[in-house]
Amino acid sequence: MNSRVSVRLCALAAALVVGACKSDPTADLAGQPQTVLINPGTLFLNEGDSATVTVKILDEAGTPLQGQVQAVSTAPTIASVALATGVQPDPTRTTSVFRITALLRGPAYARVTGLGLADSARINVLPAPFVFDGTLSSATPKGGDTLTLSASGAFRFDPTADTVTFGGGVAGTMIANSATQIKVLVPFSSADSLHIAGTLLPYVPGKTFTVPSSQVVTQTGEFWAGQTAPNITPILPAPGDTSRMIIGTTPAANSVVCPEVALGFGSTGPCMMFELVLPQDTVLNFKVDWTGGALAPDVDIYACSDSTVANFGTACFEDGGAGATASKPQATGDHQYPAGTHWFVAEIFDSTSGVSPNYFVTINAKAITTLSTSANPTTAVVGDTLNDSATLGGGTGVLSGTITFRLFTPSQATCAGTPAYTQTVNVTGAGTYTTSPGFKSTAAGTWRWRATYSGDAKNQGRSTACSAEPVTVS
């Protein structure tokens, strides 16, 4: 034999011998119980229901082991645990099957032991039927009423996540909530069970549920003048904030006491009135949007300082109104309402037959600002340069927007028409803003300055009066 070949064969044989002598690195892990595998590890069962769990004992290599396994309930009055009958036997004899039967709502554990190990599967027994078992203050509330839900049974509320949906999928506006009570503004909706999201069972950690109410809630009535209007004061936003509510309506003939009818405008309705009580002067903006097009239907909105039919002609439209424009959405614009009681009115004008939209009401509140001005100079001769300054204050946060200065000639005594001079400056906070370089007067007489602050998302806009800054030029 060739000596080189002989050497190579001997080397190969030696390598095979060495390889055969190496031990399996997992050999020491086999056969030693390491883990109890329970599937599923957590169960959710309604009272009276049952389910099976499988149990395996695994060694450190993940191999199922044979051996006797036992399981018991830690709360046998809540859930029972027993070997399952009628199941296909496991030919490897490494799997045990147990049946869990839910008896009474509450928490329990299936405690499993075998081959010197122990572990548990959590059992959550839920109420059956799975419905909200608390109380409702009424099953026939009027639209706009405050409905109170009390968690007097098994369920509680998650104040960070709870919502209440009425018939037709219309959400109620949350007025107040806690772990045990919800107060919600009743929308105009169809009869159905409530669906309450964000409910929880105290013994089921980290999980919330959506459950129906056991009662069907039937919204009754519309709110017109002469009835007790729902009070939306609790949901009015703070200055600089926004609140929203949804009103679902069904086309219906107006009562004779609805403002549009009483004023002879011929509305076919329906209309809704909402009471609000302001502890101090407040700037509010009401906006109403709805499903459907701009003309299906048209919506009028306005605010009244009296809900008495006889006084509609003088007490309504205190904000100027925002009706009959056929625009979508409708908005009142910013208006400073005095402290006291007011009524916000949303009315369908000439509603299209069969239209039953949802109305989305947005209420914006703005902080009251102050604007004082000073002409420089206040007296002059023809040819002198006229300037103006405005001091902006009040409001909330860092004021932004613009201040526009307008100078009107002696022939524009009402500050109407195109001003002789206009300048707009950016607002970067409260303070004094001035014009520059100003305007050289061209005629004798009384010139007039007007300054207008545009406002911003959180702060009220305002203007000075035409007569606030006369400048006498001779």
Check: CB of residue 356 under 8 Å from CB of residue 251.
Answer: yes
| Confidence (pLDDT) at 49 | 95
Asked if the model's pLDDT at residue 23 lies above 60, the reply is: no
Tokens of 86: 């009628």
Phi, psi of 93 (to 5 degrees): 55, 35
Residue 6's pLDDT band, with cuts at 50, 70 and 90, is very low
- Percent residues over pLDDT 70 in the chain: 77
* pTM, 2 dp: 0.56
- What is the average pLDDT across 364-390? 95
Burial of 240 (0-12, 13-18, 19+ CB in 10 A): middle
Residue 328's pLDDT band, with cuts at 50, 70 and 90, is confident
Residue 9's pLDDT band, with cuts at 50, 70 and 90, is very low
- What is the average pLDDT across 439-449? 97
* Average pLDDT over the chain, rounded to an integer: 83
| Confidence (pLDDT) at 455 | 93
Q: Which pLDDT tens digit goes with each residue over 85-143?
A: 988 888 999 999 999 999 999 999 999 999 999 999 999 999 988 999 999 999 998 76
Quote the DSSP letter at residue 339. S
Q: Of 141-155, 275-289, 312-326, 441-455, which range is least confident?
A: 312-326
Of 169 and 426, more confident: 426
| Confidence (pLDDT) at 188 | 67
d(Cα 23, Cα 19) in Å, to the nearest integer?
Answer: 9
Q: Which pLDDT tens digit goes with each residue over 211-251?
A: 999 999 987 765 444 456 677 887 888 888 887 766 655 44
Check: CB of residue 65 under 8 Å from CB of residue 31.
Answer: yes
Q: Provide the 3-class DSSP secondary structure of residue 436.
A: coil
- Helices H / strands E in the chain, number of each: 3, 36
| Confidence (pLDDT) at 252 | 46
| Neighbour count for residue 177 (Cβ, 10 Å) | 20
Check: CB of residue 248 under 8 Å from CB of residue 346.
Answer: no
164: closest CA among 143, 193, 135, 144? 193
Residue linked to tokens 């908005």: 331
Strands 469-473 and 445-453, how do they pair?
antiparallel
